[in-house]
Amino acid sequence: MHKQVVTRFAPSPTGHLHIGGARTAIFNWLFSRHNEGKFILRIEDTDTQRSTTEYTESILESLRWLGIDWDEGPYFQTKRLDLYRAYAEKLYHSGWAYYCECSPEEVERRRQEAFARGLKPKYDGTCRDKGLTPAPGRVLRFRCPQGGITVIRDIIKGSLVFDNSELDDLVLIRSDGMPTYNFSVIVDDITMGITHVIRGDDHVNNTPKQVLLYQALGESVPEFAHVPLILGPDRKRLSKRHGATSVIAYRDMGFLPEALFNYLVRLGWSYGDQEIFTREELVEKFTLEHVGSSASIFDMEKLRWINGYYIRKKSPQDLVDQLIPFLKERGYPERERSYLIRAIQTLQARCVTLSEMADAMDFYMVDEVKYEPQAAEKFLTPDTAGFLKDIIEAISLRDGQFDERALEEFFRRLADERGVKLKVIAQVVRVGLTGRTASPGLFEIMDILGKETVIRRLERALDYATAFQKSATSS
């Protein structure tokens, strides 16, 4: 009988959840779900000076927004200190750990001296055989084997070999009683029954130290899979200089959670040439064997393309709740939900983020549109004032239907009567209604705005064209 797969995601609450961390969380979540296992959330908050409740909440909010749920947790390391001390005692009493009284300044000075002589800048073992006991100001160090090799069989990277003589007698418990990262993480993984450690390959150098700690404690070693880093277009590690790096920032830019989730999975994992996956497909198909061993390049245009796909595929009814915060942010007046849904429908094919859609919604939302200077100069002129006057009069007198099909028939007939092309009249009306020359279909817009709003906006456009005529005459 196979052991149940147990994975974990263990962020530090010293910042918002960034893109690399989110992908690690997604890979762990998918692997556990694919194998019908367990996914645990752990908050590694032993860096008490930099860890904050605000960042913890931000991380949880980001995970929930991405649709990542957890079976256990969140566990907090600061609430598990007794457990780490118990394991530290075990290592001390079995001879695998010793107390060290060297000050940080002494240790650093000796490291620099070793480095200057071309030696490995590691702790020189001054206290290794002193037989010191616990006392204020002392740290507990691991007695690392000084010979032999440690072999890691990494699912993604293959076999990795480390010379033990190159490794340090790492600190397990600091002088203030707090455990170090490398120690607390293996105690947590042991006690939580973690079977697979999936994390970024910036942790590779920590792995041999952790494996030796597992062995010293007589515990079985989990399987490791180190995921290559995400790089910016300049092939340097993704950072703030490449733009937004946190999940919250992408949410606030108007990306959909399913689009970001889909994109991050494909950033390093592949299944043939398929680009778009449902959540169910990803759970079914995800394996670590299909994760590439080379770094991935973050491509904003690809993410925008995927987001545009999801925006087009969603129903306007589903999009409206996600769009409303963006409309409120812009200070637009409130509109009926049914009105917003109809407006969204006309913009789905034209926008790739919710932020772009909120900007494009302006002419639907405001009471008075702003004219683009070039559009007004070209189309709201003395030459078009006559058209506008006729159109306003005809629409005002019209008692029939005011829907898309009826409006198109009406405008075609009007163009024939005036002996002009439909597009000439259409552009004048478009600028009058939206303030710009590019928009969704004119008759769709008129249908949604309604007869009263259309007349009011065209009357204002006529006033503008007439004022233009007067100013041209007086000059």
Helices then strands, each counted (H, E), the chain? 20, 12
What whole-number distance in Å separates Cα of residue 88 and Cα of residue 216? 11
The residue from 240, 313, 370, 470 that is catalytic is 240
**Would you call 314 a catalytic residue per the annotation?**
no
Predicted confidence at residue 400, as pLDDT, reads 65
The DSSP-derived string for 360-398 is HTHHHH-SSPPPPHHHHHHHSSHHHHHHHHHHHHHHHH-
Q: Give the CA count within 13 Å in the CB-facing half-sphere of 379.
A: 25
**What are the backbone angles phi and psi of residue 149, rounded to the nearest 5°?**
-130, 160
Predicted confidence at residue 59, as pLDDT, reads 98
What whole-number distance in Å separates Cα of residue 134 and Cα of residue 50? 27
Q: In this structure, what token pair is assigned to residue 342?
A: 């109809």
- Most distant pair of Cα atoms in the chain: their distance: 106
| Helix, strand, coil distribution of the chain in percent, nearest 5 | 55, 10, 35
Domain 315-365 falls in which CATH fold?
Helicase, Ruva Protein; domain 3 (1.10.8)
- In what side-by-side order are the strands of the sheet with 97-100? 97-100, 139-142, 171-173
Q: Are both 6-77+230-303 and 80-227 of the same fold?
A: yes
Structure confidence by residue, pLDDT tens digits, 247-293: 999 999 999 999 999 999 999 999 999 999 999 999 999 999 999 99
Predicted structure pTM score: 0.92
Domain 80-227 falls in which CATH fold?
Rossmann fold (3.40.50)
Predicted confidence at residue 257, as pLDDT, reads 98
**Pairing status of strand 139-142 against strand 171-173:** antiparallel
**Where does 51-164 show beta strands of DSSP type E?**
72-76, 97-100, 139-142, 149-154, 158-163
Domain 6-77+230-303 bears CATH identifier 3.40.50.1970: no
Cα–chain center distance at 250? 5
* Domain ranges (residues) in the chain: 6-77+230-303, 80-227, 315-365, 373-474
Q: In this structure, what token pair is assigned to residue 403?
A: 């829907």
Predicted confidence at residue 2, as pLDDT, reads 66
Reading the chain (475 residues) residue by residue, the pLDDT tens digits are 568 999 999 999 999 999 999 999 999 999 999 999 999 999 999 888 899 999 999 999 999 999 999 999 999 999 999 999 999 999 999 999 999 999 999 999 999 998 888 888 889 999 999 999 999 999 999 999 999 999 999 999 999 999 999 999 999 999 999 999 999 999 999 999 999 999 999 999 999 999 999 999 999 999 999 999 999 888 888 877 777 689 999 999 999 999 999 999 999 999 999 999 999 999 999 999 999 999 999 999 999 999 999 999 999 999 999 999 999 999 999 999 999 999 999 999 999 999 999 999 999 999 999 999 999 999 999 988 888 998 898 888 777 678 888 888 888 988 888 888 888 889 999 999 999 999 999 999 999 999 999 999 999 999 999 886 555 444 4
Domain 373-474 bears CATH identifier 3.40.50.261: no
